[in-house]
């Protein structure tokens, strides 16, 4: 038997035993439109841990069928068929002598894919709940004046252009500082690109008030790119409030759940930031008016109080002056009386001291017959202080006697 004969026999067995159509579910690992606009891909199934591939099959879908299937799938899910999706396909098992076994796609169940996407989103949100971080960004205080805005978007996105135009030409003339941190906003590189932009902003977090992640409208097919645990985790760890405006009215992504504030479109984000500035400006204007009103009232009150005081003060000071003049007069009389008594007392004491001093005057002693003898200017009190030859000066009542010592004789004590 040749190989062709063997494969032909297998083909017959397959066509005879597996003539029915089957709904089969799995992950689309490859998918592309090739020659003749036919779709060629591969479906796989992994083990329960999602690591090891336990089944694999080649997929084909002919041009006419593929156009119908792809159109309906996009209409229901907003997604294009691409690798990584979980899908449920209606297939017929075929075997070709040259190309081997393949599953020919006849139809697709879009609701299954929607369910898988929702289930994936739910698992990510549950993990964030278990981490205790899902609301971390929402607990950050929102700045009173969100003027310095770090924008994550594609530089060529129409939504980014609309956002900048609305912000910079707002009717109130508010000044905003914008800087674009460019990122891929659709396709396989969304996660790593947006995370890189967030990390770049965090390195200079003190220069910004808020982070804005915006994307223009477009297909819902890119929504699943924002259902990313690493990307959501990066936002929950942000030091700055994050605002999302990914451009979908119908669905919310995981990013919308963890962001501080989520809005539907980039223009809605711009309107929100302008409204925050307007609200603050209104509060400041109210505070200014309140301050002016209170200040005016206080000035009027103080002016009236000063006028009342200007009338009362002369009266108060007049009464005070009269009362204190009387006190001063009493004090003056008291001081005068006390001073006179003290002067008389001190005069009497001086007179007594004068009498005592006169009584002790040496001249009086000399008149009474006493004399005073000095030697070298010192009063002679003890003979032991004198020497033969010393000159003595003796004062008597009517004169002075000068003498020299020729001989000293000390009296004996009894």
11-26 pLDDT, tens digit per residue, is 889 888 887 899 999 9
Confidence grade of residue 385 (pLDDT, cut at 50, 70, 90): confident
Q: Rounded distance, CA 281 to CA 199, Å? A: 32
Region class of 92: left (phi > 0), else alpha (psi between -120 and 50), else beta: beta
Enumerate the CATH 2.40.50.140 domain ranges in the chain, comma separated.
3-108
Q: Which two tokens stand for residue 223?
A: 């929504």
CB 135 within 8 A of CB 128: no
Give CA separation, 88 vs 55, 117, 220, in Å.
15, 13, 19
pLDDT at 202 over 90: yes
Question: Using one digit for the tens of pLDDT, what is the confidence trace for 35-64?
Answer: 888 999 999 998 887 778 899 999 999 999
Contact yes or no for 166/175 (Cβ under 8 A): no
Locate 401 and state its tokens. Answer: 């006697």
pLDDT tens, position by position, 398-408:
888 899 988 88
| pLDDT for 219 beyond 60 | no
Beta bridge partners of 25: 88
Q: Which two tokens stand for residue 80?
A: 């294009």
Residue 73, number of CB atoms within 10 A of its CB: 21
Residue 163 has pLDDT above 60, yes or no: yes
Beta bridge partners of 93: 103
Which residue intervals of the chain bear CATH 3.40.50.280? Answer: 122-279
Q: Which CATH superfamily is domain 122-279 in?
A: Cobalamin-binding domain (3.40.50.280)
CATH architecture of 3-108: Beta Barrel (2.40)
Locate all alpha helices (DSSP H) within 18-109, ordered by sequence: 63-77
**Distances in Å between the alpha carbon of 149 and those of 163, 272, 281?**
11, 13, 18
pLDDT, mean of residues 212-228: 73
Token readout for 68 is: 């119908």
Pairing of β 21-33 and β 86-96: antiparallel
**What whole-number distance in Å separates Cα of residue 231 and Cα of residue 86?**
21
Q: Which of 50, 41, 37, 34 is nearest to 91 (CA)?
A: 41
- CA-CA distance, 67 to 162, in Å (whole number)? 34
Percent of the chain surpassing pLDDT 90: 46
DSSP state of 224: G
Q: Is the pTM of this model over 0.75?
A: no
């Amino acid at each position: 038997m040749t190989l062709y004969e063997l494969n032909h026999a297998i083909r017959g067995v397959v066509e005879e035993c597996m003539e029915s159509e089957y709904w089969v579910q799995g992950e689309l690992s490859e998918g592309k439109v090739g020659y003749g606009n036919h779709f060629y891909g591969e479906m796989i199934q992994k083990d329960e841990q999602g690591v090891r591939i336990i089944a694999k099959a080649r997929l084909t879908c002919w041009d006419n069928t593929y156009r119908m299937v792809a159109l309906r799938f996009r209409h229901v899910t907003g997604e294009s068929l691409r690798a990584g999706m979980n899908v449920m396909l209606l297939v017929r098992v075929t075997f070709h002598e040259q190309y081997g076994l393949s599953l020919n796609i006849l139809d697709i169940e879009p609701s299954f894919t929607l369910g898988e996407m929702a289930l994936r989103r739910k698992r990510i949100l549950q993990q964030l709940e278990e981490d205790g971080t899902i609301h971390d960004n929402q607990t950050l205080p929102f700045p009173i004046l969100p003027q310095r805005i770090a924008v994550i978007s594609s530089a060529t996105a129409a939504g980014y252009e609309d956002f900048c135009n609305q912000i910079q030409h707002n009717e109130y003339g508010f000044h905003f500082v914008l800087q674009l941190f460019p990122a891929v906003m659709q396709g396989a590189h969304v996660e790593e690109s947006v995370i890189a932009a967030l990390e770049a902003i965090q390195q200079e977090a003190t220069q910004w008030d808020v982070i804005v992640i915006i994307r223009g409208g477009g297909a819902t097919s890119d929504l699943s790119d924002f259902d990313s645990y690493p990307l959501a985790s990066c936002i929950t760890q942000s030091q700055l409030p994050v605002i999302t405006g990914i451009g979908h009215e119908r669905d919310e992504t995981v990013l919308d759940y963890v962001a501080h504030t989520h809005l539907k479109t980039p223009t809605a984000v711009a309107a929100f930031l302008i409204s925050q500035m307007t609200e603050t400006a209104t509060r400041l204007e109210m505070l200014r008016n309140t301050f002016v009103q209170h200040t005016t009232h206080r000035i009027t009150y103080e002016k009236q109080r000063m006028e009342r005081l200007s009338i009362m003060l002369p009266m108060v000071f007049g009464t005070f002056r009269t009362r204190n003049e009387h006190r001063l007069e009493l004090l003056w009389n008291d001081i005068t009386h006390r001073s006179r008594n003290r002067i008389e007392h001190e005069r009497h004491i001086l007179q007594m001291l004068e009498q005592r001093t006169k009584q002790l005057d040496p001249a009086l002693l000399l008149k009474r017959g006493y004399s005073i003898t000095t030697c070298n200017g010192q009063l002679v009190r003890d003979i032991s202080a004198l020497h033969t030859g010393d000159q003595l000066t003796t004062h008597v009542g009517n004169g002075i006697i000068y003498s020299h010592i020729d001989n000293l004789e000390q009296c004996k004590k009894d």
